[in-house]
Each structure stands twice: as C-alpha cells, then as structure tokens.
Amino acid sequence: MTAGPSDGPLCFCRDCLDDLSFTAPRCSACGSPRLVRHRTLPALALAHIDCDAFYATVEKRDNPALADKPVIVGGGRRGVVLAACYTARTYGVHSAMPMFKALALCPFATVVPPDMAKYVRVGREVRTTMQALTPLVEPLSIDEAFLDLSGTRRVHGMIPAKVLAKFATDVERELGITVSVGLSCNKFLAKIASDLDKPRGFTALDQDEACIMLADKPVSFMFGVGPATQERLSERGFRTIGDLQRANEMEMMKQFPAEGRQLWRLARGIDDRRVIADRGAKTISSETTFESNIRDFATLERFLWRLSEKVSSRLKASELAGSTITLKLKTADFRQRTRSQSIPVSTQLAVKIFAMCREMLTKEIDGTAFRLMGIGVSALRAESQANVADMLDLRSAHAERAMDDLRKKFGSAAVIRGLAYEGPEKPRQQ
Amino acid sequence: MKVTVERAQLLKSLSHVHRVVERRNTIPILGNVLVRAETAKLSLKATDLDLEVTETLVAETGTGGSTTVPAHMFYDIVRKLPDGAQIVLEGDGDRSVLTIRAGRSRFTLQTLPENDFPDLAAGDMTHAFSLAAADLKRLIDRTQFAISTEETRYYLNGIYLHGAGSAKSATLRGVATDGHRLAQLDLALPKGAEGMPGVIIPRKTVGEVQRLIEDSEAEIGIELSQGKIRFTIGHVVLTSKLIDGTFPDYGRVIPQNNDKELVVDKKDFEAAVDRVSTISSERGRAVKLALSAGKLVLSVTNPDSGSATEELEVEYASDALDIGFNSRYLLDIAAQIEGEAAVLKLADPGSPTLVQDRDSKGALYVLMPMRV
C-alpha cells in the first residue's frame, strides 16, 4: 500500500523528527517543545525559506564575541542598515534605516561593515543545500528562496514538512546560521508563513487559515499592491483584504480589468504562480551612495567610470552582455531619476557602458546635487551571442581585454584608466 | 490676407510640410506652419529648428499677407474637407485668427505672429549641383539602413556625403555605418560638386528627402555649405542643418585583400537566411555560414527552441570556412542587392566581410562577423 499525499503525521518534533500525537505538548522522545503541528501537514509542499537577519547572523557566527551584542551591518556616514540582528531589533532598529537613526536608537550597537563576498559565499552554500532537496528552487535574493517539494516524498522517505525541518537543523549545525521556514500550498502563503514565526521559525499555513488571517490586513499586504493600487482600491471601498474576500469575482474583474481577478484570488489565498528554478539574472547593476552630495560633472564622471568597470566585470564573470543601459540618480531630496538607452548590439565592455551613461549623465547635470548614482545593464544574453565587434573602434575593445588580462594576472590595481587615476599618494606640490 | 486654393493641392503640400513639425513641442511657434500669400501663390513653411520645409503652390490671391497656424490641426481640417473643395483662407490681423472656409464649413484658428516664426538662416551656399531623383533615391535607399541610432556617436547618425574617387573617375559618395556594418554608394560626381566639403546629413532629413522624391524622372537641386544643405524637389525646398562632427576614416575598415570569394543567388540567399533565422527568437542571433567547395550551409542554433539548417548551391572554390553573422544584419544587406547575385569576399571568421552586387556597380557593403 502506498501512502496518499494526505496520509502522514500531523505533528512531529523539529529536533528529532519523531512523529507525535496531534495534541502532544512536547516531544515524547527528546523533550523538545519545538513541534510542527497542522491538520493538513502532509499535503503542504511549497515552502519559503528565509535566513534570519542574514548578514548579521553571518557576522556573529564568524565572531563569537558579538554573539550577545546588538550587531548592525552597514556602513559609511551616509550608509543605511543592511541588516540588524534580533538583539538590535529590540531597540527598534530595522534594515534600510539610515545609520544615524539606527545609532540614535541603539548607540552601543556594534557596526560591522558589510563583506558582500562572504555573504554571497554563505548564501551559495545555503542554496546548494536547498538544491539537494529539490531541483525546483527559486531564489528571491541572496538569503531567501521558494522551494517546491511536491512529489519528493518517496525520494526523501518523509513528508515535505519533515524534509524542511531537517534542512533547517542541518543548516544551523553545518553553516551556523538560522533560517525560518514557511510551508503552505502556494508562494504567496508560504512567504506569509515564513514571516510569522521569525527567527528560527517553522510555520505551516493552509488556505482556510490564511483567509481568516488575511481578512483584517490592509490590501497593501498583498504583493503587487503599491500606493497607487491601494488608492484606487480604497476609492471603491476596498481597504482590508477582507473587503476583497467579500467581493464578487466578476465584479472585481469589471472594476479592475487589469488586476481584479488576481487581487480577488490573492485575497482568498489563491496563487498559482509556479516555482521556477534559476530564472537567471535579468539585470546586472551597481550603485553607490556618495559620502557627500555631488553636483559637479567631473566628480560624477569618475564614479561613473568605477561603476561601469564594476558592472562590466560582473557581466564578464557571468559571460553575459546586455543591450539596455540604465543610469539611476538620486537627488539630495531623494527624488529618483532613471534614464535608459538601448543599443542594437549587446555589450559587456566598460568603455561602451561608460560612454552611454556619460551621454545620459550630461543631460542631467543642471546644478542638482546627487546623493546616489547607479548603473544597470539589462536585456541580457549570452556573451557568445553578442560579439559583433565594432569595426570603427576595435582598439578600445582590445585595450579593455588587455587590461582585464593584466588584472587577472597582477590584481585589480595593476592597471588603472587615466580617468579613474587620482594621482600619487602624496598631494602634489603646486 | 485672403487666398483661395484647391483642396487637393493644399492637402498634398501640407502633408509634406506638417511631418517636420514635432508632435510634442515646448515652443508653441514650432507647432505652427507659416502660411504666406503672395501674388498668385501660397507658400507653406514648417521647421523643427534643424530642418525646414517650404512648399509653394498655385493660388488665387486676393490680398497678400502671412500668419502661422497649428500645423497638425490645419492639416487635419484640410484632410477632412470634401474632395474637390475650394478652400478660402482669410486672415484677420487685428483678431489674430485665420478663417478657413470651404462650402458650408467654416473654421477659425488662432494664430501666432509671423515675426516669431524662426528662420533657419541658411546663409550662403558654397556649392550647387543637381542630381537625377532616381540617383539620389538610390543613394539614400542603399545606405540608410546602416545609419547608427546611437547618440554617443552622433557623427554616425547620418549619411556622409562627399567627393571621392580619383581625378579621372571622381564620384559623389554616400556612406553610412554603425560600426557593425557599413554601406557605401558611388554616383558620378555631378558638375558643381567638385571640391565640396564632406557633409553628414542627419537621419531625419534623409528620411524626409526620401519621402519627398515622388517623381524619379525629376532633377533635384542640391546646394550646400559647411553647415547646411538645401534640396529643391519640385515645389518643395528642404533646408537642413548638417551634423557638426567628423565622420571617421571609414576607408580603413573596408577590406582590400579578402581572397575567398562566394557568389550567391540573391533571392535564394535572402530567403534561406530569413527561413533559418526564424529559429532565433530574439533579433540578432548568429547565422552560421559553413562554406565548402560549391556549397553553403546556413544554420541557426537556439538553445531555447531548436535549430535550423539549409543548404545552398553556390559558387565557391576556396578553402572551407565557417563564419557567423548577425541574422538581422545579413538580411538587411541581402535586401540591398539590386541584381541577381551577391558577391561576398571573405578573409577569416574574425575579419570584416565585403559584400557587393555582381551586376550593379557603385554599391558596396561591409559586415562584421560574430563568433559562432
């Protein structure tokens, strides 16, 4: 007799994975109070996994002296909080908060400058562990992903919930970081679930529970509902998700032709987006927030070159080229300007990216002070499909490849373009 | 001002000049067309400050005068008036309006003063010559596709028109390139063009001139100076600024010693390239050309959808060679071939390929390969 998808334990221990009776207060085998309990547990197979305060957790792992201290990862005078550990969060610090504000709330926090390369490495290790569970892993960012575990029960010899519980303890033991798991029947609910019991949490959520839980949340709680949609919804009297649940599907489609059906379905916890494994990068970008605002072209130009080189080297590393180049600027009063341009032949060359951004930048120089600048390359494709060389300017491409080769051999400081060269160490005598 | 004009004539002229007017204008007067009535004629003029088109047509003038009215609205009104109507334009200087009457229809348009209408101030032209309309049209048709759209190299955003060739066989040459392909067309140097400066004619101007050439039998007058060019096409005079830049030394990218010669039937080749490139979902995927004695195999591989192969019988006697081209670019060039056969002169998979028309002289194309 084979087990149907809905057969299986409704309650088990997260630490020793022993099956328990539905009403057990603690694990009868190991005594752990960390139990997973749900009426439809064996049927749930779609998970959202989110690392807890990822950057901060990694820093604490690597420096045990920080373990019981509030830690904030971020940097620079003008920087923002990239991650705050749970101790720091008790003071009201949260990510994306300006650093000065965070330090006002929690003056004795330890501020650690970010080490992106390290986080990327750890993030990859986590992802590799996920990929051992199912090929359907859709990363959302460096530290979170959706996993579809449908049909993996025979392979693993246990229900998806147990696989995930085991994954969480494995990651904790082997990589030294904690994760929170949300398990449900679709992406939308899984993502909600993972957030319910952070950190080190495990929440199973089915559609009926979700409907009840969502009812009194504002419509903006659903993904895809930004301020504009929220405004339009509230004009028609839809303020909470409950309002949408009570609406008629046809009426919703009439009133909001573009998204009515989707909104109605999401409100009821219905979401049929599939988990798509590794959709690949859509954009490769880099940005920088200046230490102090810049309004002058020559200074911006130097930053622009560095960004172009950074984006270009990432394109080269992933063997990609793109044909849409976007320049992003944020003014001192936080207004964002984005300008983009497309070229018929994709490129990965820093000189080309720079030339196009420079062109766009010249049009934005009007005395405005800028606090941030970024560039992005999109419409990506494999490099091998993008190398129609420029007959009129073969030399600059050759020069750039030669520079790349030199850097590979002697390090990134081996050769610098005149544009980015800031003079010898000592200030020159007039 | 009072002038009577036939609807068909007015419509045709307006259709020529109103195109120059940009739909969105921050300067109101640039959205207007200048209407000027003189003895027995009416002239219309529109400009975008880079390009100016003036057309003169026969009219019955009561009182002379001039004014400006919104170009697109004026055009739409005339377009909607019944065929064969006689249109009376009457200006009232005091109320700054223009009345348009035809049959029982009557429109009143607000005007802007004629004095505010910008003049391109062409200045003195240093060279004047004329070209057969068919020749000028051919020069544009054959090179236009290669004009670059990239603003970073603004000096490539047009056709470079200049004198070339030797003293014995001097030519008037048009060249356009975007760095990935190049098109060049030579015409016999017309009288008066000797010693003319090399000029870069902007893309928009090129497009307008191309549309204005309706009668290929006609002669087109061209006048130019360092900064401006003027085309006289029938009753239309088009004056344009030129691109102020230096066109690159394109001669050095035209291969001279490509020794592998491939001759293909234009129609077969074009159709085959078109067929195999169906497989490439996005534009610009590579078509691989595998050459061996007497045989050409075209293929496209798209990892997302599949592959396509087609074999063609060709004239080819050199060593076997594999070379790849952007399918879009290859199609663009194949479309330029006027005769029955195209001659491709190749060197190696990394160097520019020269494409020529076997039966028709004066045109040549260069195409940069892709790595496949």
Among candidate residues B212, B231, B252, the one where a domain is terminated: B252
Among candidate residues B116, B145, B162, the one where a domain is terminated: B116
In whole angstroms, give the CA distance from residue A262 to residue B366: 52
Query: Which three-class secondary structure state does DSSP give residue A96?
Result: coil
Nearest chain A CA: its distance from B152 CA (Å): 6
pLDDT at A262: 86
DSSP code for A218: B
pLDDT at A4: 54
Among candidate residues B232, B252, B272, the one where a domain is terminated: B252
pLDDT at A263: 87
Among candidate residues A44, A79, A114, the one where a domain is terminated: A114
**Tens-digit pLDDT profile for residues B267-300:** 999 999 999 988 876 656 789 999 999 999 999 9
pLDDT at B229: 95
Q: What is the CATH number of the domain that holds B265?
A: 3.10.150.10
pLDDT at A6: 64
Q: Considering only the beta carbons, identify the residue of B177, B282, B366 that sits closest to A381.
A: B282
Q: Is residue A379 part of a domain?
A: yes
Among candidate residues A75, A93, A114, the one where a domain is terminated: A114
Taking the CB of residue B81, how many other CB atoms lie within 10 A of it? 20
- From chain B, pick out residues whose CB is under 8 angstroms from the CB of A388: 180, 326, 329, 368-370
Same domain, B248 and B264: no
Same domain, A259 and A296: no
Tell me the binding residues of A for Mg(2+). Answer: 50, 143
Q: Is residue A364 part of a domain?
A: yes
Is the Cα torsion angle B91, B95, B97, B101 positive or negative in sign?
Answer: negative
Q: Which of the following is catalytic: A138, A144, A309, A400?
A: A144
- B313-327 CB burial, b ≥16 within 10 A, e <16: ebebeeeebebbbbb
Same domain, B78 and B141: no
Same domain, A236 and A345: no
Same domain, B98 and B133: no
Tell me the ipTM for this assembly.
Answer: 0.72
State the residue range of the domain holding B138.
Answer: 127-252
Tell me if chain A has a CB within 8 Å of the CB of B177. yes
**Tens-digit pLDDT profile for residues A326-374:** 999 999 888 899 999 888 788 889 999 999 999 999 999 988 999 999 9
Same domain, A252 and A314: no
Q: Is residue A7 part of a domain?
A: no
Q: What is the CATH number of the domain that holds A383?
A: 3.30.1490.100
A144 as an active site residue: the answer is yes
Tell me if chain A has a CB within 8 Å of the CB of B113. no
Residues of chain A with pLDDT under 50: 1-3, 426-430
State the residue range of the domain holding A359.
Answer: 284-419
Q: Which helix (H) or strand (E) holds B91?
A: strand B86-92
Same domain, B232 and B266: no
**Contact (CB<8Å) B180/A341:** no
Q: Considering only the beta carbons, identify the residue of A344, A384, A391 that sits closest to B253.
A: A391
pLDDT at A5: 58
pLDDT at A398: 85
- From chain B, pick out residues whose CB is under 8 angstroms from the CB of A346: 284
**Tens-digit pLDDT profile for residues B22-70:** 888 888 999 999 999 999 999 999 999 999 999 999 999 999 999 999 9
pLDDT at B284: 62
**Contact (CB<8Å) B370/A387:** yes
Same domain, B268 and B310: yes
Mean pLDDT calculated for residue range B102-122: 89
Same domain, B144 and B225: yes
Q: Is residue B121 part of a domain?
A: no
Nearest chain A CA: its distance from B287 CA (Å): 10
Q: Is residue A403 part of a domain?
A: yes
Same domain, A261 and A321: no
- The domain total for chain B is 3
Tell me if chain A has a CB within 8 Å of the CB of B352. yes
Same domain, B91 and B202: no
Q: Is residue B349 part of a domain?
A: yes
pLDDT over threshold 60, residue B12: yes
Same domain, B58 and B152: no
Beta carbons within 8 Å of A202's beta carbon, 6+ residues apart: A14, A34, A36, A164, A165, A168, A180, A181, A183
Q: What is the CATH number of the domain that holds A221?
A: 1.10.150.20
pLDDT at B290: 96
Q: Is residue A261 part of a domain?
A: yes
Token reading at B98: 């223009």
pLDDT at A428: 43
Same domain, A395 and A343: yes
Q: Is residue A372 part of a domain?
A: yes
Same domain, A109 and A234: no
User: Which one has a higher pLDDT value, B108 or A7?
Assistant: B108
Q: Is residue B122 part of a domain?
A: no
